[in-house]
Structure formats: structure tokens, C-alpha cells
Amino acid sequence: METDTDLTPRGIVEFNEVFAEISAYDFSITVAEDRYGYQCTVVRNLQKSRVWGKVTICKEPLRGSFFGKCTCGVDTRDAVPCEHMAAVVVSSRIPQLTRENIMPYWWRTDQWRLQYPDDVTAISNVSIESIQENATPDSNVKYCPSWSAANKAGRPKKNARHLSVLEKAGVTKATKIHKPICVFCQICHKSSHVANHCWELEKNADERPDGWKSVLPDLEDAWDTLSNDRDDNTASEEHNVGTAD
């Protein structure tokens, strides 16, 4: 491998796998030419399912390679020519294509030479301490806050609640105003306490303030008055009914 067009060792392995057992007689190929390239429809003849692929090849090479695209997706998945692209090459339907220049440029030694030039010396004695001492920090380059990144992969820790975006950003939530609970005492009919804490009960006698007076007699008088008024109204209604008869 002395020339710039030679393949790398891994490229030779991929080259042999691509063109192994590829014969133009096993495929039906239709080539259509347009302004920018070639549109080739390739169908394998020996399969009942008639698996096919549409190959697109540009007229101008990219870094010496005519590596194109195919609808089968092998070129995108494996980064090598698929069997449809290889069949177009071995059929010689496109004169400028060869088995070597259909391989992607990243399988060539000239690409390696561009990545690792001979006249460049890499500095390998760099440490974080030397960078901090000799370099000037750029204030425009900063780390993004942790809450702006995606969640960590894997199972979350037990008993750990997932924080919201506002919590991660340090924004406090607004205090929720609780609605007051309405209380009512069924003994003295006041709304300042519940029946269990009512001073009318003997068990709460030691909590009664000085000058406290029970309101139960007043309640009884009020109930008696209300009951008498109700009886008078009932009798009046019965009297009116009897008079009407």
C-alpha cells in the first residue's frame, strides 16, 4: 500500500466482504442518468421476494470516492457499499466506477495521512495544572446548569423524589393558602370550638375563666320560645282550616 488510493487494512477486509460472491448476472439493473448523477434500480433475480434497492451515485467523486446511497439502508448502517451498489460496479454500466473507488474515503490511507500529518508534533506534556497557570480563562465558556441536561441513565435511587425544573433551578414554590376549617359546638352552639372542648362539660371545668357563665339556660329558653311559637302557628293553621270547612 504505497499510493494514496490504497485501502487501509480494515478497508481491505470490508472490500473483500462487499464483493465476495457478487455477480452481475444475479441482478437486473436499470440505470437512469440526470444532471447530477445516476439513479440505478437493482433487483436480485434469484429471490422469490424480489428484494430491490435504488442506488444513487453522484457524477463527481468526494475525495476520490464515488460512494453513494441506497434505499436498503446498508450503506448508512455499515458504512460500506451494499450488494446493490456492488452489483452496479461489477456490471460496468457506469464506466468511471471501479471496485476501489466505490469504497468510502474513510477506508483509504490518504484519509489517514490527512488525520495524522507527518510534519506536526503533538504536545503530550499537558496537565490541568499547567493549563491553569499559563492559560487565561474565557468568561464566555461556562458549564450549563445540571438541570438543563437530560436525566441520568439507569435506575433511579430508592427513596429519591424527582425534582421539578423549578426546584432544580432554585425557584421556590409559592406558599399554598389553606382554607380555614369551620368548627361548631353542638352543646353551646358556638363556632369557636368543638364539643369535646366545650366549657359546659364538667371535664373541662378547670379550664373555665373567671366570671364564666353557662349559656345553656338561655338556649333552653330560646328553644322553649321557638317551640311555643311553632305550636301556636300549627293551632292557627288548624283553626283556619276548620273555619273554612
The mean predicted confidence, pLDDT, of the chain is 79
Q: How far apart are CA 148 and CA 136, in angstroms?
A: 27
User: Is-contact 104 79, C-beta < 8 A?
Assistant: yes
Nearest-angstrom CA–CA distance, 222 and 189: 12
The residue ranges of every structural domain in the chain are: 9-113, 180-214, 219-245
Range 180-194 average pLDDT: 78
C-alpha cell at 47: 429471490
- Give the residue from 30, 52, 50, 28 showing the smallest Cα distance to 40: 30
> How confident is the model at residue 130, as a pLDDT?
86
d(CA 42, CA 85): 8
Is residue 228 very low, low, confident or very high in pLDDT (cuts 50, 70, 90)? Answer: low
Surface-to-core class of residue 219, CB atoms within 10 Å of its CB (0-12 exposed, 13-18 middle, 19+ buried): middle
Quick one: cell of 156?
433511579
Side-chain-facing half-sphere of 60: CA atoms under 13 Å: 3
Q: Give φ, ψ of 189 to 5 degrees.
A: 60, 35
As a whole number of angstroms, the distance between CA 61 and CA 75 comes to 16
Q: pTM above 0.85? A: no
User: In this predicted model, which residue has the larger pLDDT, 15 or 143?
Assistant: 15
Compute the average pLDDT of residues 101-126. 84
